[in-house]
Amino acid sequence: MPIRALIIDDSSVMRKIVERSLRQAGIDLAPVLEAGNGAEALAVLKDNQVDLILCDVNMPVMDGLEFIKQLPGVANAKDVPVVMITTEGSESHVVQALSSGARGYIRKPFTPEQVREHVVPVLAGKS
Binding residues for other proteins, rule: CB under 8 A, are 10-14, 16-17, 20, 58, 60, 86-92, 107-111
Minimum distance, C-beta of residue 100 to other proteins, in the bound complex (Å): 18
Helix 12-24 and helix 112-123: axis angle, to 10°?
Answer: 70
* The pairing of beta strand 104-107 with beta strand 5-8: unpaired
For residue 3, the 8-state DSSP code is: B
Question: Which strands make up the sheet holding 104-107, listed edge to edge?
Answer: 33-35, 5-8, 52-55, 82-86, 104-107
3-state secondary structure of 86: strand
Buried residues in 94-107 as b, exposed as e (16+ CB within 10 A): bebbeebebbbbbe
Minimum distance, C-beta of residue 86 to other proteins, in the bound complex (Å): 8
94 vs 120, which CB is nearer to other proteins? 94
Minimum distance, C-beta of residue 82 to other proteins, in the bound complex (Å): 20
48 vs 58, which CB is nearer to other proteins? 58
101 vs 112, which CB is nearer to other proteins? 112
Minimum distance, C-beta of residue 18 to other proteins, in the bound complex (Å): 11
